Every structure is written in C-alpha cells, then in structure tokens.
Amino acid sequence: MVTMKSFPLVGGILAVLYGLVSVNGNEQTKVVGGTQSGERVPHQISLQIMINSLYGFGPKTWAHNCGGSIVSPSYVITAAHCLDGIEASRLSIVSGTNDLRNDGAKGSRRLVASYKIHPEYKELDKCDIGIMRTQEPFVFDASTQPIRYSDTQVGGGESCTLTGWGYTMPIRIGRTPQDLQQAELKTITNEECRSKGFPVNPTEICTFTRVGQGACGGDSGGPLVWNGELIGVVSYGTRFCGIGSPDVFTRVSEFKAWLDANQV
C-alpha cells in the first residue's frame, strides 16, 4: 500500500504575515467543490490569530486560521494543531455570522481565556483535538447555538456536511473566502481510507465523495456534522486539496469523556 503524505489543513496565516494574502475584499469563492452556505450555521466559529500584516511590519490584525464548534456556553472544540504552540492571548473567536468581512463585524468576538490539547496528541497521527474556554460566555440566540456530540459511532456511506472558510482551490494560494462555505460529503470506512493511502486509526474518520471536493487549508478544526451532531473535526489531508484523496477528521465520539471532563 502506498502511504500518502499528509498535511494539516490550517489557514494561510504565514501568507498574510508576509503580505501574500489580503484579509479584505469582496470576492465570493467556494470551499473546494462546495457552495456558499445559504443558511446560518450557529455552532460554527472562526478561530483567529493576532498577527502583524504587510510582511510583519504592518498593523496588528485578526486573521482567520481555523474553524471550530461551540459545544457549551463557554467552550469550543477545534483541532489540537490549531492551538499547539500558540499563546491563548493571541487567539480570539468570531461567532454568530457567516460573513468575516470588516473584521467579522456582523458577528461577535470573544477572546480565548485558555485551551487544552489532548494529552496524547501527535500531529498527523492521533488525538488531534482541543477545547478552548472563552473569557466571556456566548449569548445564545438564533445565530449562535451549541451543537451536540455523543459517543455514537458513525460508519461508512453516511451523508454529512462540512462547513468552513478554508481555501477554495486545490493550491493554497490567494486568500481564504469571506463567506462561509459548505460541502456535502460521504463518510468512508477506515478500511477504505487505509486502502487509499492514509494509515488512520479508530480515533479518526474519513470522507471522500468525488475528485474536486473536500476540505482545504483554513478548514482545520471545523465541524463535520451528521444528523445535527458533531462527528468530526477537520484534521488533515494532502498537500493539494480535492485531488481525489480522502480527508481525515478526528472522530469526536472517541473523545466524549475527555471533552466532558474538560468543560469545568
């Protein structure tokens, strides 16, 4: 079996830092093979990081880096690799909007007070999950709501939905979209995923629908939803997106006890 080389699906922060990406603009682009989300996704958040723009010499600005899911009044689930090595003081969460224009002004921003990464996390291998606590609790309304998760095991052949502000072309160049995107995907069994070159373990779940569709950089940490339930957290894929290889997600059901215990 040929093993595919894998890459985390974080956003283009370094590109913004070095002046290669504009964080403003009005172009409407799509998740690879997806469409602009026409409905509210009230559990979806944009995890943003404070950076210096314009080659590192410009003013400080918030920039989208990953996605995440609200699961309780003060807690958000994301991928461990979106948090690893970053000070919590440099992170914030934009919620309650599909539109990140004008610094996410249509939503609300909360600073991250702290986060925890799963103690067995190993990048591109296992336990790519973390949980963040916000400095102020969310105010739940029509645009902001938690999503449930459970220990239900989801197998192959199930229809699910991916949402995020990740890159919309196979090559991660340019900038990520301002409007939330979504794609309807199908789960595959772990055996199928391994046969396609990904040495996944039981704590992961894969999707593959067709060439030209899937997650990309900037979607990391975001939700894979099945029957209204959070079943996956975007973890990794190939260097080029949507080229006919599966996407790998952290299987949330395997971490229910850990997630429950760390919301205190």
Structure tokens at 248: 């790998």
- Separation CA 109–CA 166 (nearest Å): 19
* β-bridge partners, 76: 70, 132
- The predicted model gives 83-103 an average pLDDT of 96
> Of 165, 144, 149, nearest to 42 (Cα)?
144
Task: For residue range 172-216, list pLDDT tens digits in order.
Answer: 666 788 999 999 999 999 999 999 999 999 999 999 988 878 899
Side chain identity, residue 137: P
Percent of the chain with pLDDT over 70: 85
**20, pLDDT greater than 50:** no
Would you list the domain boundaries of the chain? 42-146+258-262, 158-253
Q: List, by residue number, the catalytic residues.
A: 81, 128, 220
Same fold flag, 42-146+258-262 and 158-253? yes
- Separation CA 263–CA 250 (nearest Å): 19
For the 158-253 domain, the top CATH level (class) is mainly beta
**Contact by Cβ (8 Å): 131, 263:** yes
Q: Does 42-146+258-262 carry CATH code 2.40.10.10?
A: yes
**27, pLDDT greater than 60:** no
